[in-house]
Amino acid sequence: MVVLFAVPQLALVLPPDVVKKELVDIVLKLADDRSPNVRLNVGVSLEALMPRLKDEPELISGKIEPVLKKLEADNDEDVKFFASSALKAACS
């Protein structure tokens, strides 16, 4: 959870290539966590990263959107909500 809380803050100060190559992968790996709180914070973190990733449509469509769509089908309603919110941010 600490990592997911730190990612949006780190994205503000790290170079875009580090955000793209390092932070996104860290967040995406946590999407399969057993804890719904971790999974919902994946959505929160990915939504927070979207402004830094607008120039990366391949990354968004190839890596991020599939994970968010998977989370939209989660059993937990909060996970679904935050995944949907992040997906809307990714598509706008």
pLDDT tens, position by position, 36-70? 999 999 999 999 999 999 899 999 999 999 999 99
What distance in Å separates the CA atoms of residue 60 and residue 90, rounded to the nearest whole number?
7
N-to-C CA span, the chain? 27
Q: What is the pTM of this model?
A: 0.92
Crossing angle for the helix pair 65-72 and 36-53, to the nearest 10 degrees: 150
Query: Among positive and negative, which fits the CA dihedral 33, 38, 39, 45?
Result: negative
E strand segments, the chain: none
pLDDT reading at 81 higher than 90: yes
Crossing angle for the helix pair 65-72 and 77-91, to the nearest 10 degrees: 150
Kindly state the average pLDDT of the residues 2-12: 93
Domain that holds residue 35: 2-91
Work out how many domains the chain is built from and give that number. 1
CATH of the domain at 23: 1.25.10.10
